Amino acid sequence: MLTLSRNSILAIRCARLARRHLSSRASTILSALDILSSKEQPGVYDGEWKGTGEIFESICPTTGEVLARIHSAEPQELHEALDKTREAFISFRTVPAPQRGEILRQIREALAAKVFHLGALVSLEMGKIRTEGVGEVQEFVDICDYAVGLSRMMNGRVVASERPGHSILEVPNPLGVVAVLSAFNFPIAVYGWNLALSLAAGNATLWKPSPSTPLCSIAITKIISRVLERNGIPGAVAGLMTGGKDVGAAVVESQNVDLVSFTGSEAVGRVVGKRVQTRFGKVLLELGGNNASIIMPDADLSLAVPAVFFGAVGTAGQRCTSTRRLYLHRTIAPDFLSRLQKLYASVRAGDPLEDSTLLGPLHTQAAISIYSDAIKHLQDTDAEILIGGKRYDDAPLKNGNFVQPTIAIPKILDPKNQIWSTETFAPILNAAVFDDIDQAIEWNNAVPQGLSSSLWTRDLKNVGKWIGPAGSDAGIVNVNVGTSGAEIGAAFGGNKSTGWGRESGGDAWKQYVRWSACTINFSDKAPLAQGVNFPT
């Protein structure tokens, strides 16, 4: 029998790839972003494009079509890229912050010029509907605007000294190399939040995106690298390292990396957090969410029902902030559920690139099993499935990873049970009925995660309780606003097993700099603090 070596198999695959024709749906989007889909793509950028390591496929979750094959880095290339990123930092750290802001302004312009094509690429490769894909790229544009301003406002402080003729300054300086490890579900925005702050702060950034969304990262890196080149800045200031778990682990282990900003699951975040802390690096964790909406009897249901619908069904339930738990006050529960079911019944599933589509596919086939297992567990524990619970079996949806958005009423109310306490990254909404707000807040807080939460009420007393010391323990505590769809201005992130990280706005930039307390003596004496006497 003829056996083929790994190289021969690779050669046959390449020949097939060269012959294959992409759908015009895909090729139009890729060519608008200068991605040659007929060839294998280099997936590493450190000033030049390269990659001779493992090959990854980018697969369209809507059709199953292979969009491209991407070469990740060999270990040697990974080390070279890390060295180049360090070198890039050494030269970039002395560029004045407002000049760094000017580069960000140009990146913002370059992204804005391609916002619709990039948004379409997100829909094509990740699977979210177009308006959400474009919105995600808009977030990158917005955070660039924010960081341009920040580049003139990353201020330290002058602190009063107890010693005469002394001044104390708290000084922020560039930190070093920032590695951004990102999840599949926001294949552009999460990098944007990090890159904009990191670049404004004077760091070099190396991006390790999800292995299943490499084309989004390649398209973005191409756009940014052109801006850097035009300004004579080393490309490794915004480098790229596609690859899987092993590449991620090597980046996390590297002493060359000063800050690891990790966005992903709680399970992987736990490993990453420990590894980075073992080597005394800095780590920023943005992990899973398990978010609840609480509907009080005085809520305006004409606002609350569509918000819960978007929160639970938007991005096919694949946002870290997706609404997964719904707590309904007994008096409004039947009305709320019947209105919500009507919206669920009207949902249009289909190609996320079509304007009429509201529900795209799950990102991978593996996610379908996770969805099916969760539904089975609900059924096995006598939950009532109000709507949904199955895959879409008819053409053309059966070619993609489409599942029906689901509302369930679990019999089990114990918030520690896995139905309530784990994040199932799929459009499943579990609902329960409560009698008073304290019970609802207790359920809201009883899960390990603490990302987003939302209360619907017009009563100020409820609002005060919800946002106060005995209120929601999540990082995002909304009132009459759904759990998902945050703006860039406030710091974004979650508490507890969501990792305590904060990114984007607010004070998040302070994590991307190295703080020094500098005491300066401009007197003719050298007194010790606290009046300590040490005669010589």
Please report, as ranges, the residues that interact with ligand NAD according to CB under 6 A. Answer: 181-186, 190, 208, 210-211, 244-245, 248-249, 252, 263-265, 268, 271-272, 286-289, 320, 423, 425, 451, 494, 498
Q: Which two tokens stand for residue 27?
A: 């090729």
Taking the complex as a whole, the smallest distance from the CB of residue 271 to ligand NAD amounts, in Å, to 5
Residues annotated as catalytic (active site), given as ranges = 286
Nearer to ligand NAD among residue 185 and residue 293 (C-beta): 185
Q: Least distance (Å) from ligand NAD to the CB of residue 501? A: 7
Instruction: Note the residue count of the chain.
Output: 536
What is the Cα–Cα distance from 297 to 312, expressed in whole angstroms?
A: 21
The set of residues, in sequence order, having a beta carbon less than 8 Å from that of 363 and lying 6+ positions away, is: 61, 126, 127, 184, 185, 212, 318, 401
Residue 185 CB, nearest approach to ligand NAD (Å)? 5
C-alpha to C-alpha distances, 294 to 342, 455, 477, 486, 493, nearest whole angstrom: 20, 5, 11, 18, 20
Query: Which residue sits closest to ligand NAD, CB atoms considered?
Result: 248
Cβ 317 to ligand NAD, closest distance in Å?
11
The H or E element that residue 98 is part of is helix 97-113
Least CB distance to ligand NAD at residue 291 (A): 10
For ligand NAD, which is the closer residue by CB, 148 or 272? 272
Which ranges of 427-527 would DSSP assign to H, the alpha helix? 437-445, 460-467
Identify whether the C-beta of residue 30 lies closer than 8 Å to the C-beta of residue 68: yes
SS3 category, 509: helix
DSSP state of 126: T
Cα-Cα end-to-end distance for the chain: 89
Nearer to ligand NAD, 271 or 385 (CB): 271
- Residue 383 has φ and ψ, to the nearest 5°, of -70, 150
Closest to ligand NAD by CB, 31 or 418: 418
**Chain centroid to CA 262: how far?**
9
- Among residues 507, 506, 501, which one has the least CA distance to residue 263? 501
Residues 6+ apart with CB under 8 A from 7: none
Pick between residue 234 and residue 314 the one whose CB is nearest to ligand NAD.
314
Burial of 164-173, coded b for 16+ CB within 10 Å and e otherwise, reads eebeeeeebe
Q: Minimum CB separation from ligand NAD for residue 181, in Å?
A: 5
Least Cα distance to 42 among 228, 250, 218, 238 occurs for 218
CB of 211 to ligand NAD, least distance (A): 5
- Sorted by sequence, the CB contacts under 8 Å of residue 54 that are 6+ apart come out as 71, 72, 243, 244
